């Protein structure tokens, strides 16, 4: 996996988002961390009572998603906080790659048993309710030129 650095996090975020993310990391607001292949995931507490689901894929290029409403330039403070937690202690991110592979096989079998109509309705509802899934879906369409 590519090495993630503080400098890289500074490049993908605004100075304000980086500083706030650093504060969140230092306050211990990052939890429930895991790694699956090249993707690290965790929950980062927000400024209110809400925790946000965050993932950061460290491949040839960095890709990130956060369930927070941030919609401005660069990565949000939650992505920065997760990245800093990884840089600080990668061992605190248990590797769930094999576990997730088995889960994927099981899900694939279940999906193959469903009708197209059932799957389309489920996908529609999921995309309408989940910001991260919607972003992944549109990225998939763009990358595959649909």
Between vectors from CA 19 to CA 13 and to CA 21, what angle results, nearest 5°?
75
Backbone angles phi, psi at 108, to 5 degrees: -60, -45
pTM: 0.76
- Average pLDDT of the residues in 34-54: 93
Note the pLDDT of residue 15.
97
- The residues, ordered by sequence, that sit 6+ positions from 41 with a Cβ below 8 Å of its Cβ are 33, 34, 35, 53, 54, 55, 56, 82
pLDDT digits (tens, 9 = 90+) for 91-146: 999 999 999 899 999 999 999 999 999 999 999 999 999 988 898 899 889 888 77
Q: Where are the chain's structural domains?
A: 6-95, 98-143
* Dist. CA 41–CA 52, nearest whole Å: 11
Which pLDDT tens digit goes with each residue over 8-42?
Answer: 999 999 999 999 999 999 999 999 999 999 999 99
Are 54 and 41 contacting, i.e. CB atoms less than 8 angstroms apart?
Answer: yes
Residue 82 in contact with residue 30, Cβ under 8 Å?
Answer: yes
């Amino acid at each position: 996996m590519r090495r993630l650095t503080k400098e890289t996090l500074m490049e993908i975020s605004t100075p304000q988002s980086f500083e706030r993310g650093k504060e969140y990391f230092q306050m211990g607001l990052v939890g429930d961390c895991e790694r699956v292949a090249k993707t690290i995931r965790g929950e980062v507490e927000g400024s209110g009572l809400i925790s946000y689901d965050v993932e950061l894929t460290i491949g040839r290029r960095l890709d990130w998603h956060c369930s927070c409403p941030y919609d401005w330039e660069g990565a949000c403070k939650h992505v920065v906080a997760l990245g800093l937690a990884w840089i600080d202690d990668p061992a605190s991110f248990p590797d769930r790659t094999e576990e997730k592979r088995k889960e994927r096989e099981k899900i694939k079998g279940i999906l193959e048993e469903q009708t197209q109509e059932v799957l389309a309705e489920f996908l529609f509802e999921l995309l309408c309710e989940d910001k991260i899934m919607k972003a992944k879906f549109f990225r998939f369409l763009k990358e595959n030129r649909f």
